Amino acid sequence: MDCICCGFGAIILLFVLTIGPIKKQTKMKKHITTFDEHLDDRFGVIGTKKRANFEIKAKAFAIGEIIRDARKEAKMTQEELAEKTGTKKSFISRIENGHSDIQLSTLYRLVEIGFGKSVNLTIG
């Protein structure tokens, strides 16, 4: 069986900020923050309820992307995947768009029955 890896820590977001001419950029550098600082400012520090809610939504989005990529790699439609796994197309769509909390048993069913692959989870 092939493997689909759910590496939640591998979510990388890239922000590109363009600030006028080069002379202005050197003056602005002291205001540039790291991505972690941005998350802290926007969603609170790790451990807060607001940050936890953000992290949950980000992970749901990441799982959806993994499922979508695997489905496309298998050259399946959402409807075909739903039929094969006993779910509905609308449910597959919600998962792929990060709008549905997915139970672990459902994830296993989608990956193992739907794609014939295995799930590897890493805790750490």
* pLDDT-based confidence at residue 64 (cuts at 50, 70, 90): very high
4-23 tens-digit pLDDT: 444 434 333 322 333 344 45
The distance of Cα 60 from the centroid of its chain, to the nearest Å, equals 6
For residue 103, which of 89, 115, 119 has the smallest C-alpha distance? 119
pLDDT of residue 121: 85
pLDDT of residue 43: 93
76-118 tens-digit pLDDT: 999 999 999 999 999 999 999 998 888 999 999 999 999 999 9
> Domains in the chain, please, with CATH?
2-120 (1.10.260.40)
Q: How many CB atoms lie within 10 A of CB 84?
A: 16
